[in-house]
Structure 1
Amino acid sequence: MLYRVEGIVIRSMDYGEGNKIITLCTETSGKIGVLVRGAKKIKSRHAAMTQLFTYGEYVFFRQNGGLGTLNAGELIDAHAALREDLFLAAYASYACELLDKTLQDEEVGSFWFTQLKACLEGLSAGKDPQIVIHLFEMKILQAAGYGPSFEACISCGRTDDLLVVSPRLGGKLCRSCRHHDPAALQISPGTFKLLSLFEKMDLRRLGNIEVKEATKQELKTVMRHFMDMQLGLRLKSRQFLDQLDKYEI
């Protein structure tokens, strides 16, 4: 059966002497693997369609839900700037690997696709990459069914001014319920405000916002705890990103 889909390349690997297999995140068909014959050859007309972060229209033949074979393709946005900048490439690679490891092959939903598309566009547009990525992480948690709640106590539903969040329980704790998680994190008002904003905001609505460095560091710590506790993924791209962060000025 012939398929025509818009997709973003979230993984690309060599296959044989001249071929590549790409994994696409699509809006209508979930996550799909596609074989691109001759993609490694110098004169290949499909080579550009196999580059990581590429957004395009892909036409491929697929039978019985297996690996597709590319027939034709048209670039919509190559996101070349992301591959040319080491730091942006690291952030974008993390976003793609995170979605790849979280999204199952049989899962279909436009939310995954639209949020990844917005993430890559935000990085390309020069928005703060750390803020973009943490918001994307929040959307991934929500799409996977582990979205934290910050509006009221996750245990009893009461609201108070205690700024304590529990990555293990999945959200805010009030004074009466803090004992349920001794490892819960006390955070600053600025970080709590961002987390509350991220909970409700679609990544497509993110503008250019300035966040204090101390707040960003605390936000990174909190989101790292949520991601590790709720998803427990070990990603090579995150390890590389952590190494780069040590040298970023």
Structure 2
Amino acid sequence: MAQRSIVRTKAVVLRSIDYGETSQIVTLFTQEKGKLGVMAKGARRPKSSFGATLQPMAYTQVVFYHKPSRTLQTLSESSHVQSFHRLREKLPTITVGLRIVELVDALMEEEDPQPAAFALVVRALHRLNIAEARVSNLWPYVQLQLAQILGVAPAVDRTRVEAVTGDEGLLSLADGGVYPADGTPDQPKRASRAALRAYAVCARADLDTVMRLTMSPAVRREVEALVRDFLRYQFDDAYPDRSRSVIEQIEGAKPTGRAT
């Protein structure tokens, strides 16, 4: 008979939905157990001890009762490890943060610990919380790093990137590599030289270098499309698009401002 155990671990909240009159069902990405669902009884009561710790993107310390035979565990405690309060103050940081947790929710298997992916998500949310500019650079970076962790690392070779000398080159959706325009990669996608070089930086450089990368709005959109098409090719229907469509509607209703 499966025994119930008490688990204490760090977690990032991926999503939550209301359940009944006072409770919530919360999907966590935990350091110890990977992604799993918990029932937070009474979380919606005005004086709930959970407070704001169950909002998406929250970085928390949780305690729950774990029983292997259950698909939904019982959450007993939750407290902030670090409060990313600045992350929620601006639309660009909210946008990137929500996309990150949605992607993790879509690509992670239930109860499959992925410590490297967990560390990546925490590092990205922390950077979003302190970044003053170019926060959108985190989105392609996190996607390509997560792909590498999950076994589909982009085959970006510096020599081939430097061989893209004309206005355009190619991205292979099959291996994520950059090729010159006269190359013959599998599943090629044509793109501008500027976008392919920016894509290569996001795939291979460290986070500090990526955050210094300057892209025009047109190049940024092209890079995001390249990354999206690569991940869609690798993960099929698992790649999520729901938050992107919602965010585009929000941004379309706001006055156009300076790109970040």
Does structure 1 retain, via aligned residues, the 8 Å contact 2:172–2:186? no
CA distance in 2, matches of 1:234, 1:207: 24
| Aligned position for 1:111 | 116
Q: Note closer, same or farther for the CA distance 1:160–1:76 as it changes in structure 2 (3 Å cut).
A: closer
| Aligned position for 2:163 | 161
| Aligned position for 1:124 | 129
Q: Deviations over 1:43-68 (max 9, x none)?
A: 11113221111111111111125222
Aligned ranges for residues 1-249 of structure 1 at < 5 Å? Answer: 1-64=5-68, 66=70, 67-126=72-131, 127-151=133-157, 161-162=163-164, 163-174=169-180, 177-178=183-184, 180-181=186-187, 183-188=188-193, 190-203=194-207, 207-232=211-236, 233-246=239-252, 247=254, 248-249=256-257
Offset of residue 42 of structure 1: 0.3
Q: Note closer, same or farther for the CA distance 1:179–1:234 as it changes in structure 2 (3 Å cut).
A: closer
| Unpaired segments ≥5 residues, structure 1 | none
SS state at 1:49 partner: coil
Q: Deviations over 1:57-80 (max 9, x none)?
A: 111111125222122222122323
CA distance in 1, matches of 2:96, 2:250: 10
TM-score of the two chains, using structure 1 as the length reference: 0.85
What count of residue pairs does the alignment treat as equivalent?
Answer: 243
Amino acid at match of 2:84: H
Amino acid at match of 1:184: K
SS state at 2:52 partner: helix
CA distance in 2, matches of 1:179, 1:99: 29
Q: Note closer, same or farther for the CA distance 1:105–1:179 as it changes in structure 2 (3 Å cut).
A: closer
Does structure 1 retain, via aligned residues, the 8 Å contact 2:92–2:136? no
Does structure 2 retain, via aligned residues, the 8 Å contact 1:91–1:241? no
Identity of aligned residues (%): 23
CA distance in 2, matches of 1:160, 1:121: 33
Q: Deviations over 1:16-51 (max 9, x none)?
A: 110111111122221121211100000111132211
CA distance in 1, matches of 2:32, 2:209: 22
Offset of residue 113 of structure 1: 0.8
CA distance in 2, matches of 1:229, 1:13: 30
